[in-house]
């Protein structure tokens, strides 16, 4: 049975690059706390957009889709799920809301993990929701020619229950002891959880939900306002590379957590940088909405898409953004690049 060393192993992660990332994130967390206290009304619009993006991205990573219109209606509970994909999207929405609203009262315990997994499948009626895997599973890689190869062999079904219990115990003891920064312990926990691969289905989505839960419990609540799941989806190839590198020799307890830790901390840092940019932009709401669209484009060093503009200004409607873009083009202030979904804009 694999042992979870959260006493000595974290020392190996105290390297300059990781320590610097933690320092940057801590500093930005302090500014985040000031924003949350002073600008609650501004943050409410970011919160709603992040919920939609998180639900969409975490499911899309696993190949679960629906239309943009249906997604928004499902997230705000203005529609009931019509099919299996929408049932799983609705389940993710509910678990995400539970974590957002109650993270202070949710302990990191095996029974809680099982309950969250049960709720993830509460709309689908699937029997394995809330139960550990019933058969051994493997993490396979699908090649371009359609063939598959085993990338990682997780813990057996028989050992899974004990593995999750040991993992939670090791993590909680390390948190209480307080010897290491929670960001290091969280990165290790998520990697170990993925390597255990506890369930027949939903392991990836559960890992991202647990990432948010652990971050929130440690005071890093940026994921409420900027979707960490979306940032993971945008760097999906790097995510899988880091996971593969850090899971090598995992069963022999010789794996190196550094690759995955650097990746996850990089995502968290990126989330804080985007949070800062979006909050600062929303502070300038005295400008007209058209002026704010122009300001977003002017400040961007690279071409920016309509969807990216909407992310920066979630309180501006899609129609208003489209009208502003047309007027700016007519006034010869911006340049349009590409066509269709790949269309972007940049200052002339």
Answer with the one of 232, 260, 281 that is the final residue of a domain: 281
* Residue 313 pLDDT: 79
Residues 298 and 224 occupy one common structural domain: no
Residue 1 lies in a domain: no
Residue numbers of the chain with a pLDDT score lower than 50: none
> Starting from the edge strand earliest in sequence, which strands make up the sheet with 344-347, in order?
304-305, 344-347, 334-337
Instruction: Encode 104-135: b = buried (16+ Cβ within 10 Å), e = exposed.
Output: eebebebeebbebbebbbebbebebbbebbee
Of how many residues is the chain composed? 348
pLDDT at 142: 67
- Whole-model pTM? 0.84
Using alpha carbons, list the distances in angstroms from residue 254 to 2, 12, 37, 42, 299.
11, 12, 44, 46, 46
Residue 111 covered by a domain: yes
Q: Read off the pLDDT of residues 295-341 as tens digits, 9 standing for 90 and up.
A: 889 888 889 999 888 877 777 888 999 999 999 999 999 999 998 88
- 4 falls within a domain: no
Q: Return the closest-CA partner of residue 120 out of 145, 92, 146.
A: 92
* Nearest to 95, CA basis, from 78, 120, 115: 120
Q: Among candidates 113, 218, 223, 222, which has minimal Cα distance to 176?
A: 218
Question: Among 250, 166, 265, 251, which residue's Cα sits nearest to residue 211?
Answer: 265
Taking the C-alpha atoms of residue 222 and residue 228, their distance in angstroms, rounded to an integer, is 8
Which CATH number fits the domain that encloses residue 300?
1.10.10.10
Question: Cβ atoms within 10 A of the Cβ of 280, count?
Answer: 12
Statement to judge: residues 343 and 275 lie in one domain:
no
Give the Cα separation of 328 and 348 in Å (integer): 10
15-53 pLDDT, tens per residue? 999 999 999 999 999 877 777 665 666 677 788 889 999
Phi, psi of 33 (to 5 degrees): -60, -35
Same domain for 313 and 235, yes or no, is no
Residue 301: other Cβ atoms inside 10 A: 7
In the chain, the number of structural domains is: 2
Do residues 75 and 55 make contact, with C-beta atoms less than 8 angstroms apart? yes
pLDDT for residue 295: 87
Distance CA 31, CA 47 (A): 17
Domain annotation covers residue 3: no
Indicate whether 242 and 320 sit together in one domain: no
In terms of domains, do 204 and 332 share one? no
**Judgement on whether residues 46 and 112 belong to the same structural domain of the protein:** yes
The phi, psi pair for 304, rounded to 5°, reads: -125, 140
Measured distance CA(96)–CA(48) in Å, rounded: 12
CA angle, residues 226, 232, 233, in degrees to nearest 5: 105
Residue 268 lies in a domain: yes
Domain housing 320: 287-347
CATH code, domain carrying 174: 1.10.3290.10
Whether 132 and 186 share a structural domain? yes
Q: Residues 33, 116: one domain?
A: yes
Q: Which stretches of the chain are DSSP H helices?
A: 16-38, 40-61, 68-75, 84-102, 110-120, 157-177, 182-196, 203-217, 228-234, 236-247, 258-282, 289-299, 306-312, 318-330
The pLDDT score that the predictor gives to residue 339 is: 87
Indicate if 258 and 292 belong to the same structural domain: no
Q: Which residue has the tokens 């049960």?
A: 118
298/205 same-domain check: no
């Amino acid at each position: 049975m694999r042992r979870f060393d959260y006493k000595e192993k974290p020392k190996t992660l105290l390297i300059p690059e990781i320590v610097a990332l933690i320092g940057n994130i801590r500093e930005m967390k302090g500014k985040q706390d000031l924003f949350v206290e002073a600008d609650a009304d501004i943050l409410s619009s970011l919160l709603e957009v992040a919920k939609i993006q998180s639900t969409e991205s975490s499911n899309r990573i696993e190949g679960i889709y629906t239309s943009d219109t249906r997604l928004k209606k499902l997230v705000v509970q203005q529609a009931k799920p019509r099919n299996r994909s929408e049932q799983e999207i609705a389940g993710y929405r509910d678990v995400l809301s539970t974590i957002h609203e109650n993270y202070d009262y949710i302990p990191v315990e095996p029974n809680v993990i099982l309950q969250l997994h049960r709720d993830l499948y509460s709309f689908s009626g699937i029997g394995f929701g809330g139960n550990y895997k019933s058969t051994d599973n493997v993490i396979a890689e699908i090649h371009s020619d359609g063939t598959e190869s085993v990338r990682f062999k997780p813990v057996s079904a028989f050992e899974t229950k004990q593995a999750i219990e040991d993992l939670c115990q090791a993590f909680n003891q390390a948190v209480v002891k307080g010897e290491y920064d929670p960001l290091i312990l969280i990165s290790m926990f998520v990697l170990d959880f993925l390597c255990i691969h506890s369930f027949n289905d939903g392991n990836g989505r559960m890992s991202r939900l647990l990432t948010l839960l652990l971050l929130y419990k440690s005071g890093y609540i940026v994921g409420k306002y900027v979707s960490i799941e979306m940032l993971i989806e945008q760097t999906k190839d790097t995510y899988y590379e880091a996971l593969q590198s850090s899971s090598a020799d995992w069963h022999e307890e010789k794996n190196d957590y550094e690759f995955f830790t650097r990746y996850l901390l990089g995502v968290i840092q990126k989330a804080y940088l985007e949070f800062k940019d979006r909050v600062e932009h929303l502070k300038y709401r005295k400008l007209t909405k058209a002026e704010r669209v122009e300001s977003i484009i002017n400040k961007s060093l690279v071409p920016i898409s309509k969807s990216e503009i909407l992310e920066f200004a979630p309180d501006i409607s899609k129609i208003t953004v489209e009208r502003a873009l047309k007027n700016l083009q007519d006034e010869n202030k911006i340049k349009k690049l590409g066509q269709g979904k790949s269309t972007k804009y940049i200052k002339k």
